[in-house]
Chains A and B, each alone.
Chain A
């Protein structure tokens, strides 16, 4: 499939918009539908799309498997870390009110960080699973 001219051109045109849409879904999740989970899947889909068109090795050169594998535990750590930060600042576990001076701002910050954690883990896991499956060969 890597010699398919139309796919390559259209893929190159589409990919920035797919990644931008993932970021939009991530950061606009507070106002519209979406959030870390959906955004993570869309970002992973962009990488998988690239790997299918341009080959697995080309994708691995851009997004190294080691980085993706490190993202899998990193996201959970961010999420759990927000909870522990809540304890350290004098609240309960996963209590966002204490994260900023204003409780509402604390909630916004907490939700933002937690969604970022979900994004990191989900996109890392999906890409890792694809890399492992596709990299095995027959």
Chain B
């Protein structure tokens, strides 16, 4: 790469369900070297596991393949590489579907697809427990054996290393299972600039760059509080791009002629998003110190971040285990003026008495009044005076499924039996869902074996 060259990475998806058109806007809207796409929220892996159990060919983010069918030709033509954790619990299945998409785009023999796997510990779980990896819950200190029977998925968050390996082997698109989210952007930087894994300051910069783009438009004006009313054209919001220099300093920006806004406020809100101790932001690759970041507003929609320092990473990978923890359901009813809140409150009391009378075994009952306290809970101290309407939302949880199913039938009858001027019961009908709980744990890095495969698209 020529000296002084910058690498541009765009964050095109913040979660599975994000703006489907955003990656296309990033690819077509201006210069870009890499597109990173984050599909995996915590809950996503257990959903994909369930789909995979029902149909062995499923278990990855199919949206990604649909998207690539559309943008693959443009990416190939412009030399834009793609890194996505769309593989879910079946990265090889995702790669196979992707190869089919590449073939139909006329790219047989012209594109290389990389697959990173080895994060999935589900098949090895009993062996690992037997070998003495207790996978103790980081928050409660309880060993995993106590919920072993209910475990639905278990994945280690891999680092940037295997993605770097895939890029070095010539991959144009890299599909992964569970990796640390910022690694999806850090890996291309480590690969392009040849940064060493003990160059902790540059690795911290790479992880910061990834952190800034991993939630999509949340750093370019989406969900931004600061003067939100003046942020232009969020309907065509420009997803964030980092322009990274060989030193690790980078500018956060977005393509011209897009909506949204990149400024100090939008970028800082994202930097502090979902972090703990800012002096030790832990990833598999580095411990980054966010208190060392220097932020400079360079101009309209250009924010420069530099100076970040890093330290060696922990010896363990974080493991996310999902396990079944009972059943839940939630339903709503809309009460209208006059005395909307009084009616909703009377309905709540009526429901609670019904639950007792029916003998439902409910571990928790939560009642909220949308329009008053569903967002801020007890901090919404003063009820709205003479509210035009209030929506009652009742949710329950239990390890006894028939009780939750019973609850699900209890709300609709209130339109005929309860307080008056009520509607909206059809839209708010309760549905029984399994509760998937999270078990955060650590595992020795030596116990996990990341695997990389890179292959040319076959004809």
Q: Are A and B interaction partners? A: no
Which B residues are closer than 8 A to A by beta carbons? none
